[in-house]
Amino acid sequence: MRIRNASRTEADQLNAITMQAKAHWGYTAVQLEQWRESLSTDPQSIERWPTFVAEDQGIAIGFTQINPELAVWELVSLFVLPAHTGRGVGRALLKEAVAIANQAGQTTLHIDSDPNAEPFYLACGAVRIGSELAPIQGDSARVRPQLHLSTSAASPFDHADPLRQAAQPRAGTLLNVMKVPKLSPISQQSERIVQAQLDAYNARDLEAWLETYSEDAQQYLLHTGELATGRDAIRKRMEERFRDPELHANLIHRITMENIVVDHELVARTFPDGLGLVEMVCIYEVSHDKIVKATFAIGQARPG
């Protein structure tokens, strides 16, 4: 396999790779057709932007493209034919993109990732900085992870264990200087309790969900006041919600410090006007393996 510059005459071939790669993730033909134009790589962009092809025995098996016209350069495309995934093709293409950005003085590549591709990028050292709502038919809570990948010389491409490297702070950053510690046993147990309540919530298992709360637990709305105190009051407040077949919380980000766990979520549920989405920040306080206090900041509902 070799990596080479792409030619504008290859646009159709690169677009075929894109569609095959996307289809491999199980998206419907209708959905793929809706995305076709936005996913297309046109000849003009190949001429203007760094675009590289992975070639095996003269056949293009993958490609990547960078947009250098943004303040933070963006990885626009990285697709590999399904028959060649898991063989280091994507990693080689990403390494080339990182090297070009680094040579140009860019310290970071922005990646607007498909949710299916996020584990690959995280294994290569990327860090999630947020998410963009991207619902599709059958998955109203779908989001596209927004990632940043350092272009520093001390990159995960040079190490044998990319998953371990991805968990380490990038060289030259404040985190590297601070030597951020692993989660303490208390933090780990707090996360387990909060994850158990999230799993029960998404299973719409009210009894299992309530079991993660203490008997005298309190729920609050941030800056507003008390929602409910005690399991019975919490049950009464939530039992109708748990009957909603559309109820599902997608965890976007989690921060844990000892007995405090903060979850940033995108929740799909049925509102009076129909199916919708609402963004939430949930602050949980854990004591004796139970949630004793939960405070919620709730965004504006929007159509799902």
The reported pLDDT for the residue numbered 172 is 43
The reported pLDDT for the residue numbered 265 is 87
Which of 84-88, 159-163, 218-222, 243-247 is the least confident region? 159-163
Euclidean distance between CA atoms 63 and 15, whole angstroms: 10
Tell me the β-bridge partners of 251: 265
Instruction: State the Cα angle at 256 between 250 and 258, rounded to 5°.
Output: 145
Query: pLDDT tens for residues 105-133?
Result: 998 999 999 999 999 999 888 888 888 88
The reported pLDDT for the residue numbered 175 is 39
The reported pLDDT for the residue numbered 176 is 42
The reported pLDDT for the residue numbered 173 is 43
Determine how β-strand 248-257 pairs with β-strand 225-229: unpaired
Which domains are assigned to the chain?
A: 2-178 (3.40.630.30), 185-303 (3.10.450.50)
* Beta-carbon count within 10 A of 105 CB: 8
Query: pLDDT tens for residues 9-58?
Result: 999 999 999 999 999 988 999 999 999 999 999 999 999 999 999 999 89
Query: pLDDT tens for residues 255-297?
Result: 889 999 999 988 888 988 888 888 999 999 999 999 999 999 9
Q: Which of 131, 151, 152 is nearest to 142 (CA)?
A: 131
Contacts of 274 (CB under 8 A, 6+ apart): 303, 304
Residue 209's pLDDT band (cuts 50, 70, 90) = very high
Query: pLDDT tens for residues 148-188?
Result: 998 874 455 544 333 333 334 444 444 344 444 456 888 88
Beta strands in the chain (DSSP E): 2-5, 51-56, 59-67, 74-80, 108-112, 127-133, 143-150, 213-221, 225-229, 248-257, 260-271, 274-287, 290-298, 302-303
Residue 97's pLDDT band (cuts 50, 70, 90) = very high
Euclidean distance between CA atoms 129 and 123, whole angstroms: 15
Mean pLDDT within 194-212: 92
Q: Is the per-residue pLDDT at 250 higher than 60?
A: yes
Rounded to the nearest integer, the mean pLDDT of the chain is 87
